[in-house]
Amino acid sequence: MEQKLTQATKKLFIKTYGCQMNVYDSNRMADALAPHGYAPTADIGQADLVVLNTCHIREKASEKVFSELGRLKELRDERRAGGQDLMIGVAGCVAQAEGEEIVRRSPVVDLVFGPQSYHRLPDLIARAGQGAVIDTEFPAEDKFGHLPAAKKEVTVARGLTAFLTVQEGCDKFCSFCVVPYTRGAEVSRPVEQVLAEARGLVEAGVMELTLLGQNVNAYHGLDSKGRSVGLGELCHRLAEIPGLERLRYTTSHPLDMNDELIGAHRDLEKLMPYLHLPVQSGSDRILEAMNRRHTRANYIDAIQRILNAKSDIALSGDFIVGFPGETEADFEATLSIAREVGYASAFTFKYSTRPGTPGAAMDEQVPEPVKVERLARLNEQIMSQTRAFAKSCEGRVLPVLIEKKGRNPGQLGGRSPYLQAVHMEAPERLIGTIQPVEILAAGNNSLLGKIVTVAEPKSASVVESQASVA
Ligand code: SAH
Ligand code: SF4
Ligand code: F3S
């Protein structure tokens, strides 16, 4: 103990861009460095090591990294003028895609390492110093098997909901997308490894898990008998963990929405009635050019099968406007599929040309002003659908997982089963419980509600341990 206290601690600051998997990865990097004396700091000015965990999905996301590196150079120069130093690392999908090019453009960088190298981070840091260290390999060893778990108190501090990567990489090669290149081929983690991590999280107080994967519903991990298990069965196994109250998963591909998974939505109360199922476009011509491998009719059919199994599901999606060759008629087909499916929410993007993807070499790139105009029209429609869905919740009583204090004094904040933010006046002791909340009003980004009858926490010890989360 004494030795630990005297050990010099270094400060780590990780800035995370991009998707939830990067959020999960940033935590795992912090966990990997904790045994090596690195403690997280929220103040970049205090950091000895800054890691940018980057996203390559669209040009804008990618370019942000280089402007941040410009600012970091100034910070490091100040440090050096004061006789101290700062180590700078670039991780994530830009690191994987650009590798050495990052150091060429920005010599301030000491470390460049891709998503499959995070378990090697302590070793990479040890090697940095004599020139930049670059590791963008796809190693043979199992990254997850080599990453240490978070300490219990670290998980407690991270809150009541947690991400858990169960699958990584993608074999689909949509013609617009960099993910198959930055994350590599599809890999599923073994069932027991997932269950063990989930149990650890739940023991530390996590009540809701979101399973992550670039194509999470293509999950096919091996169980202890060497049998391949799909996401539906994995959800069943996870739902057996006592104390785990809610399960979600993201992101799914329409072709991998199999009957077993759809059955899990019907049979598992813990599996939340919310599904993010991107379609990208409503036009068959564009879907084909995107190499999505499904038609509009296939997608509608998948939605129908899901709604037949469970009618009460809020659907969400992703859309790209302005893919090469997209005509006004194609775009109108996108507007119409969004209406037909009746999404409760959606993410919309202007097509961004990504180097190295087949889309970049296609003729008929759509002019920027056309993309801007289509995005605005789609957004307007999606916003009105989202408002209508929120409005339809008024008067309903929804179980809300109360997570934290709200913005206003006396208010607490949580999530509905449909992933909507809900605010209500309630005593702090209810943080870490699920309460029946009557929805009084639908705002732009959240719902306002009131607790109907307080369901008291199960035991005093639960209250105590949850109070420290707040
Ligand atoms: N694996 C998920 C999506 C990962 S990327 C899936 O298959 O659905 C998240 C979203 O970013 C995509 O669904 C897509 O809508 C958007 N996206 C990906 N590449 C893009 C590009 N080049 N330009 C604009 N949007 C893009
Ligand atoms: Fe990208 Fe398509 Fe794979 Fe999704 S399925 S990650 S959009 S290539
Ligand atoms: Fe971005 Fe990589 Fe995620 S490109 S969206 S951080 S998988």
Tens of pLDDT, residues 325-369: 999 999 999 999 999 999 999 999 999 999 999 999 999 999 999
Domains, the chain, with CATH or none:
10-135 (3.40.50.12160), 149-272 (3.30.750.210), 274-392 (3.30.750.200), 397-469 (2.40.50.140)
Residues forming beta bridges with residue 112, ordered by sequence position: 90, 134
Count the neighbouring beta carbons within 10 Å of the beta carbon of residue 281. Answer: 25
Q: pLDDT (tens digit, 9 = 90+) per residue, 114-125?
A: 999 999 999 999
**Beta strands 421-425; 411-415: pairing state:** antiparallel
Does residue 371 line the site of ligand 3, with CB under 6 A? no
Report the nearest-CA residue for atom 7 of ligand 3. 179
Q: Which atom of ligand 1 is nearest to the CA of 319?
A: 15
Report the nearest-CA residue for atom 1 of ligand 3. 55
Measured CA to CA in angstroms, residue 175 lies from 132, 353, 358 at distances of 33, 10, 5
Contact (CB, 8 A) for 168 and 217 = no
In terms of C-beta density within 10 A (0-12 exposed, 13-18 middle, 19 or more buried), how is residue 226 classed? exposed
Q: pLDDT (tens digit, 9 = 90+) per residue, 51-100?
A: 999 999 999 999 999 999 999 999 999 999 999 999 999 999 999 999 99
pLDDT of residue 467: 34
Indicate the average pLDDT of the chain.
93
Of the pLDDT bands very low, low, confident and very high (cuts 50, 70, 90), residue 139 is confident
Does residue 179 line the site of ligand 3, with CB under 6 A? yes
Contact (CB, 8 A) for 290 and 280 = yes
Contact (CB, 8 A) for 128 and 174 = no
Amino acid identity, residue 54?
Answer: T
Judged by average pLDDT, the poorest of 263-267, 269-273, 403-407, 432-436 is 403-407
Does residue 169 line the site of ligand 3, with CB under 6 A? no
pLDDT of residue 455: 76
Give the integer Cα–Cα distance in Å for 437 and 258. Answer: 33
In terms of C-beta density within 10 A (0-12 exposed, 13-18 middle, 19 or more buried), how is residue 149 classed? middle
Amino acid identity, residue 114?
Answer: G
Judged by average pLDDT, the poorest of 131-135, 417-421, 460-464 is 460-464
pTM of the model: 0.94
Give the integer Cα–Cα distance in Å for 183 and 168. Answer: 7
Contact (CB, 8 A) for 324 and 362 = yes
pLDDT of residue 461: 43
pLDDT of residue 84: 92
Instruction: Convert 71-107 to b/e letters by CB count within 10 Å (16 or more is b).
Output: ebbebbeeeeeeeeebbbbbbbbbbbbbbeebbeebe
Does residue 182 line the site of ligand 3, with CB under 6 A? yes
Q: Which atom of ligand 3 is nearest to the CA of 61?
A: 1
Q: How far apart are the first and last CA of the chain?
A: 28
Amino acid identity, residue 346?
Answer: A
Closest CA relative to residue 271, chosen from 215, 206, 344, 210:
210
Report the run of H or E that residue 123 belongs to, with start and end: helix 121-127
Q: Would you state the structure tokens that stand for residue 137, as one six-digit string? A: 């390999």
Count the neighbouring beta carbons within 10 Å of the beta carbon of residue 256. Answer: 18
